[in-house]
């Protein structure tokens, strides 16, 4: 345990957070930025005295449970959490295979997009978080389990996944999803990406054919895409990406050009489901 570095790290993370980042009111008497010690303690479920002693380098060695609570309260990324555990004298928790945590930065941004179709996806195409309008537009993508968590797997094994796109766009969408998976596979051929590819090659001749093309760069992310909604019909939407390279996650935000029929439909969708 490194008391000095642990205290400095906690202080820096506390001062980097604003009250509104964690759902707390700023209040008229707050003169400085960042969270107060007692606010961090409350978020982590510990006494203010206990947390204060850690920052003052005179507390006991925190338990793994305490460090985990601090990591959640301070909204640390997985890398920051691992660093916190190391400073506290413990091995970092093993990251669960097949599970991803939404990075705090992505979650904060998504929380501000409550009236907009947006979703956070892992590098493997697993939907980790959806806003309400995104669920209304696409359905709940977070409900799947097993290999069906991954968009590319559903595309080539579940016909229902294709219903949201016009049939004439299916070929391009399949190539796009395969190209995205190839990028993940190139970076991690023996890991999860390799498992997804192997599973698809075993069950989908169509995927095997597209995979064999070795397409690696299909410029599509900013293109105008067509989506089909069971109640509103076809919508033409732009998809804007925000990438968190450290966490390997991306935030996709969908919008329509102002004054278009698709923009009106999107407003109807948001008003009905928001």
Domain regions of the chain by residue span: 3-87, 104-273
Does residue 77 carry a pLDDT above 50?
yes
pLDDT of residue 32: 67
DSSP label of 150: B
Q: CA 158, CA 145: separation in Å to the nearest integer?
A: 13
Average pLDDT over residues 80-90: 85
Q: CA 255, CA 251: separation in Å to the nearest integer?
A: 13
Q: Please return the burial class of 207, using the count of CB atoms within 10 Å of its CB with bins 0-12, 13-18 and 19+.
A: buried
Helices 78-87 and 3-16: angle between axes, nearest 10 degrees: 150
The rounded mean pLDDT for the chain is 86
Q: Between 210 and 94, where is the model more confident?
A: 210
Q: CA 95, CA 5: separation in Å to the nearest integer?
A: 24
Closest CA to 76 of 32, 107, 33: 107
Give the residue ranges of DSSP H helices in 17-161.
37-44, 48-55, 64-73, 78-87, 104-111, 132-138, 151-157
Read off the pTM. 0.64
Per residue in 153-175, pLDDT tens? 999 999 999 999 999 999 999 99
CATH architecture designation of domain 104-273: 2-Layer Sandwich (3.30)
pLDDT of residue 274: 47
Class of domain 3-87: mainly alpha
Strand runs labelled E in the chain: 118-122, 127-130, 224-229, 233-244, 249-255
Among residues of the chain, what percentage have pLDDT more than 70? Answer: 93
pLDDT of residue 57: 86
Least confident residue range of 15-24, 171-180, 181-190: 15-24
Does residue 25 carry a pLDDT above 90?
no
Average pLDDT over residues 11-34: 76
Does residue 98 carry a pLDDT above 70?
no
> Given this chain, do its domains 3-87 and 104-273 carry the same CATH topology?
no
pLDDT of residue 97: 43
Q: Between 2 and 253, where is the model more confident?
A: 253
pLDDT of residue 264: 93
Most confident option among 27-36, 81-90, 172-181, 239-248? 172-181
How many C-beta atoms lie closer than 10 Å to residue 41's C-beta?
21
Per residue in 114-152, pLDDT tens? 889 999 999 899 999 999 999 999 999 998 888 899 999
Taking the CA atoms of the chain, what radius of gyration do you get in angstroms?
22
pLDDT of residue 238: 92
């Amino acid at each position: 345990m490194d008391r000095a570095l642990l205290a400095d790290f906690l202080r820096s993370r506390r001062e980097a957070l604003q009250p509104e980042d964690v759902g707390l009111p700023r209040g008229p008497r707050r003169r400085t930025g960042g969270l107060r010690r007692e606010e961090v303690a409350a978020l982590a479920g510990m006494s203010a005295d206990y947390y204060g002693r850690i920052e003052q380098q005179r507390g006991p060695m925190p338990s793994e449970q305490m460090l985990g609570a601090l990591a959640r309260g301070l909204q640390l990324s997985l890398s920051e959490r691992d660093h916190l555990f190391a400073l506290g004298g413990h091995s970092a928790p093993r990251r669960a295979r097949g599970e991803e945590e939404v990075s705090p930065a992505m979650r904060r941004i998504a929380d501000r997009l409550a009236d907009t179709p947006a979703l956070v996806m892992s590098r493997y195409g697993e939907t980790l978080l959806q806003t309400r309008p995104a669920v209304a537009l696409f359905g709940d993508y977070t409900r799947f389990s097993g290999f069906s968590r991954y968009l590319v797997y559903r595309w080539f094994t579940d016909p229902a996944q294709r219903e949201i796109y016009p049939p004439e766009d299916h070929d391009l969408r399949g190539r796009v999803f395969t190209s995205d998976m190839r990028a993940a596979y190139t970076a991690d051929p023996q890991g999860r990406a390799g498992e997804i590819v192997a599973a698809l090659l075993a069950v989908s001749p169509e995927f095997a054919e597209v995979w064999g093309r070795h397409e690696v760069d299909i410029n599509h992310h900013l293109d105008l895409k067509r989506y089909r909604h069971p109640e509103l019909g076809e919508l033409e939407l732009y998809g804007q990406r925000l990438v968190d390279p450290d966490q390997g996650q991306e935030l996709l935000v969908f919008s329509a050009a102002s004054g278009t029929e698709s923009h009106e439909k999107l407003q109807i969708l948001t008003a009905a489901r928001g």
